[in-house]
A and B are shown apart, each in its own frame.
Chain A
Amino acid sequence: MARYGMALDYKSCINCKACESACKEENGILLGADKHRIWVGVKDIEGIFPDLSISSSGFEPSQCQQCDNAPCQTVCPTNATYYDDNGVVRVNPEQCILCTYCMEACPYDARYIDDRTMTVDKCNFCSDTRLINGETTTACQATCPTKVRIFGDLDDPESEISLVLRARDHHSMKEHLGTKPKLFYLT
C-alpha cells in the first residue's frame, strides 16, 4: 500500500493562488474566504522603504500537513477523523459531530467547517476526486504554474518524491511538536 506525501519546492511559489482555486473547483468546496483547504502564507516584509529585506519576505504554500501523528485525529471523539490505508488523514462526514476539537488541536490551522456536509473538513490529497479514479496527482500540483508540488508515494524508494527527498534538504512545519507531517518543504 502506498503512503502518500508531498514535497513543496516553495521557493518557486508566486502566490498566484492557482492551487486554491483548483482545489475549490476540484473538491466542490463552498465559496467564502473561510472555506478553503489550502492557502498561501505570506511573510510580511521587514524594513522600511526603500530598504526592505527581500529575504524576510516570501510565500509559503500550506494545507493539511497529513501528519503521521495527527493531533486532530487524537482528539476526535467519534473517530470521524481517521487514517486511510495510504496514510492520508481523512474525515468521515457521517461520524463528524461538529465538536470542532480538531480545529483547536490542529497546529497548522488546516481544518474548516463545510456548511453543506456539516463536517469539519480538510485536505485529503484529492482522495475522493482524483486518486480514486487512478489519477496520480492532486489538483493543486497539476495546476501550479511554477510546479511547486511533488505528490507521491513515500514508501516507494523509486518514486519521484522519494528521490527528491533523498537528494535535497528539506524541513517540515513545526517539527518540534512531533506531529510527523508528510509535507516536506524543500530548501
Chain B
Amino acid sequence: MKTELSRRRFLQGTVALSIVGATAAATALAKTEHKSKSKIVDFGLTKTQWSDKLEEIPTLCEMCVNKCAAIARVEDGVLTKLNPNPLFPKSRNMLCARGNAGIQALEDPDRLKYPLIRVGERGEGKFKRVTWDEANEYIKDKMVKIIDEEKDNRSTIGYCAGEGMAEHTYASFMGDKIGSLNYVNHGSICLATTIAGYTLTLGGYGQADLENADYVIMAGANRAEAIVTPDTMDMFKRTKGRGLKMVVVDPRFTNTAAHADTWLPIEVGTDLAFVLAMTHVVMTEERYNKRFCEENLSDFEAYKKHIIDKNYTPEWAQAITGIKADDIRETARDFMAHAPRAIYYQGRRTAWSLQDYQLRRAQAIFSAMGGGIDKKGGIIFGKKLPLGEHSIPSPMYDNALERIEKSKAASIGNSGSWIAWRNTIIDGTAPYPVRAFFAYKQNPMLSIPNTAKTKQMLEKMDLVVVIDTMPSDTVMMADVVLPESLYLEREDPVKSFGGAEPSIALRIPVVEARYDTKPVIEIMRDLGEKLSKPLFEISKKYDESLQEEIEERGEKEVYKEEGYDLADGYRHSQETINHHMVSSVYGEEAWKTLREKGVFYPDMSKYFKKVSANEYEYYPEHKKSYSIIKGDLNNEPYHDTCVDINEIAVLKKKFRTATKKIACALYNFEKRKGVDAMPTWRSELYKETPEGRFKFITGRHGQFTQSGSSNNALLLDLLPENYLWINQRIADAKGIKFGDTVEVRSSIGAIEIKAYPTEKIGKNVVFFIHGFGAESSELTLAHHRGANDNAIIEDVYETTFGSAAMHETIVDIRRV
C-alpha cells in the first residue's frame, strides 16, 4: 500500500505537490496550444489535420545509459512524441517512462541556456550571462596561470565525466590533448568491480543471455526497476513459470523479486559467503560440469581444495548471510541442474561492499562451473561490428605527472577511484596540487559518497568548469558553466553495440539546438582554439624534450605534427566524422540507411522481420553470435554417445585471459599487489550491524535516473520523491507512520526523509533511492525534494580497484 497501491491512494499521497501541476502547465505549454488548436477541428489532436510538416526522425535516447532507439515525431519543428524504434536489437522496440519523458527534458524551463561566469561567492549560485568567447577567455587566463605555476604539469587539471556517447570526445580532449592524467569517471562508483572481476576471470564481462537462459540468480540486481536493455525485456516475458526460473537474492523485496520463483533476503554485504557456499555444495557433491572445468578452468583443483579447506559450508554461510543452509544447497543444485543455460547475473552498479571484487570473481567461476560461458543461454560475448578509425595526434608532456591516488588501491586504472582521488586532494596527501577541475555530464555533488567532502574539494580549486544541460548542485559550485545541447538537439559519435545480435546506431538531432548551447565536440574545439598557443608557450618554457624537438624540426612543424594544436580533430563536424567512420567500412549505402533508419547492420533489410505487433526478429537463429570463442573439440577421451557434446559445452576454448583459460586463481595479482589469488571471505572486511541500528543501502528506479532526471516534470508525476524503506514492525515500535519525517544519521551526516514502513525489508536495513535531495535553487522542481543518499553514505572504498563501497554505512533512525 502506501505509495503505490491504488490510484486513489496514490492521489492522496501526492496532492500536496501542487508545484508539479503549476510547472507542468508551463512545460506543457507548447503542447497545450496545439491541442486547443486541433480541438476546433475534432475532439482531439490529429497530426495530419493541423501539422503542415510532419517528420519522423530516428535517434537514440539519453535519459539513462541504455541508449534505446527512438523515433521522434516532429510536427512543424515541435517534438510531440518519442516512440520506440523497432529496428534496434538492443532496445527491442521499447521506450520506458524516462524515454517518453525526454520531451520534458527538452522543454524544461530550468535548462542551462547560456554560458555563465560566477559573480558571487563559489556555491552561492550567482552567475552572469556571457558569450562563449568570454567564457573561454576566462578559462584560458586561469589555465595559463595555473599550468605555468605548476611548471607544465598538465595533471594539475583534474576532470570527471559521466557516462555518455560524447564522454570519449571530452575525455580525449582533456587527457590526450591537454594532457592531464587525473581523470575520474563513473566506473568507480558503478561497475568497476564487476567489469574487473569478470574480465580477469572469464576474459570479458560478457552479456547475460536472458532471452535463452533457463535459470538465473539475480543478486542485488533489480532489472525491473533499474532497467538494462535488453536484459529487462528478455527476462520478464519469461518469468512466473514461463520458462525462466529466477532466484532473487536481495535484502529488499523489489519489483524484480515480485517476478521471482524464490526470494532469498540476504544480510547486506554477505553475498560472497553465499556464492562460496554454493561453490562448496557443487564441489563436494561433484555437480559441476566436469569436462568443461577440466578443459577450460585453470587451477580448478587448487580452487576446489581452497573451498573445501576453508570449510565454506552452507551452514557456515547461513550464520553470515541469514539464508538457510538448505536454501543455499537447493539453489546451487538447481543452478547446476539447469546449466549451461544458467547464469549468476554479473550485476551492474556493484559498488556495494569492501569484498565486492572477490564476490564478482566467485560468481564468474561459479557460473563457469556449469559450463554456461560463451554459450547460448549463458554468459555470452557476442560480436561487435567494427567502425572506421578517427585518430588525431596527441602531444607528449614530459612534466605531466602520474595521477595522484595511484597508490591508494592495488590497481587504479585510467578512470581512477573517485573517492580516493577526491580525498587525496582534500587530505593533503597529493604529491602535487590539483588546482582546476572540469566536470562533464556528472554531478559529483550528488553522485559521490560524502557530499560534504566533494564540496570541500571543489572549494579548494582555483578553477571549476562544468559542462552540463541542467543547473545541478555541481553547476552551482562552478566558476564557468558551459551549456551543452540536449541529446535531442545534437549528433553524437556513432556507436557500435555488440552482442549476439550486433548493430550500429546513431544519435542525430531531431530539433534545432535551443538557446546558446553547443555539443561537446564544439565546446572542445572552441576551448582548443583558445588554449593551444598559450599552453604551447608554457610547454616550450618547461618541457626539455619539446625544446629539443623544436631545435631539430622547427616550432611550426612540431606544433602541428605533435598535436599541440588542441582543436585539430575537433574541427570537423560530428556528422562528417560519423560519415567517415561508417562509410569507410560499410560503404555509402550503409551510411544512408543509418541516417534514415537510426540503425544499421549488414543484411538488416534481409534479416529484419516483424513477427507480430510485439515481436521482431533481428537475425535468423543461425546468424546470431552466441559462441564466438574458437576452440578444439577434443572428443576422444570423453567418448560418450548419450549426450550432445556441443550442448554440454566441452569445447576447449581460448578465453581472453592471460592463461587462455577461465582463471580460478590469479597468483600474479597476489604476488605483485597482495590481492587474494582466489575468492576468500575476509571477516575483518565485514561489518555486522549493531543491535538497534541499520545498514543503509541505495538503489535505482525505473522512473528516475540518478540526479540527472531530478527536475523532469513528467517523471516527478510518477515518482514525486524518495521514501525511506523501513521494516514495518521496527517503524511501529518507533512510532513511525507512513509519511512521517524521519532523520537518518550516519557518521558523516544526517538527512531528513519521509518514511515508508513495509515488510519488504528486513529489520536491520533501511533503503532509499539515489538521486533526490538537490540543493540547487535553480532546479525549480528538484530543489529540496526528497533526500540525498550521498550526504550520509560514508566514503569508504574497496582496496583492489578503489571502487566505492556504498553499502557499508551504519545509520540511526529517529522520528522528527
Task: Please give the residue numbers on chain A whose beta carbons come within 8 Å of chain B beta carbons, in ascending order.
Answer: 9, 11-12, 14-18, 20-22, 24-28, 30-34, 36, 39, 41-45, 47-50, 52, 54, 57-59, 90-94, 109, 116-117, 124, 127-129, 132-133, 136-137, 139, 141-147, 149-152, 160
Contact = CB atoms under 8 A, between A and B. Distances in A.
Given A30-B28, A137-B613, A141-B614, A14 B242 contact: no
Given A52-B263, A146-B237, A151-B613, A32 B21 contact: yes
Given A54-B263, A145-B227, A33 B717 contact: yes
A25 B100 contact: yes
A143 B94 contact: yes
A15 B224 contact: yes
A26 B81 contact: yes
Given A32-B21, A129-B44, A93 B10 contact: no
Contacts of A142: 83-84, 93
Contact of A42 (B5, B14, B39): B5
Contact of A15 (B28, B232, B255, B714): B255
B46 interface: yes
28 contacts: A14-B259, A15-B4, A16-B97, A16-B225, A17-B97, A18-B97, A21-B703, A25-B80, A28-B32, A30-B21, A30-B24, A30-B32, A31-B25, A33-B720, A48-B759, A49-B762, A49-B763, A52-B759, A109-B8, A124-B44, A132-B42, A133-B48, A137-B613, A143-B94, A144-B614, A145-B96, A147-B614, A150-B613
Nearest to A22: B100
A152 B28 CA distance: 31
A14 B222 CA distance: 11
Given A12-B237, A34-B15, A147-B614, 17 more contacts: A9-B237, A11-B239, A16-B227, A20-B718, A21-B703, A25-B103, A27-B44, A31-B713, A41-B6, A42-B4, A43-B5, A50-B265, A92-B43, A117-B35, A150-B613, A152-B613, A160-B613
Contacts of B763: 49
Contacts of A21: 97-98, 100-101, 703, 714-715, 718
B317 interface: no
Given A11-B240, A18-B96, A32-B21, A128 B83 contact: no
Given A33-B11, A109-B7, A128-B46, A22 B95 contact: yes
A43 B34 CA distance: 38
Interface in B717-753: 717-718, 720, 727-729
Which 3 residue pairs are nearest across A and B when measured between Cβ atoms? A128-B44, A31-B24, A147-B614
A11 B242 contact: yes
A117 B232 contact: no
Contacts of A30: 21, 24-25, 28, 32
A124 B225 CA distance: 28
A127 B97 contact: no
A70 to B, nearest CB: 17
Contact of B236 (A14, A45, A58): A14
B233 interface: yes
Contact of A143 (B84, B239, B612): B84
B258 A59 contact: yes
Contacts of A160: 612-613
A143 B11 contact: no
Contacts of A43: 5
Contacts of B39: 93, 117
B761 interface: yes
B558 interface: no
Contacts of B48: 133
Interface in B1-54: 1, 4-8, 10-11, 14-15, 17, 20-21, 23-25, 27-28, 31-32, 34-36, 39, 42-48
Contacts of A41: 5-7
A58 B258 contact: yes
Most chain B CB atoms below 10 A, which of A26, A28, A136: A28
Interface in B367-421: none
Contacts of A47: 759
A15 B242 CA distance: 18
Most chain B CB atoms below 10 A, which of A14, A92, A145: A145
A32 B24 contact: yes
Contacts of B125: none
A28 B28 contact: yes
B760 interface: yes
Interface in B566-618: 612-615
Contacts of B82: 25
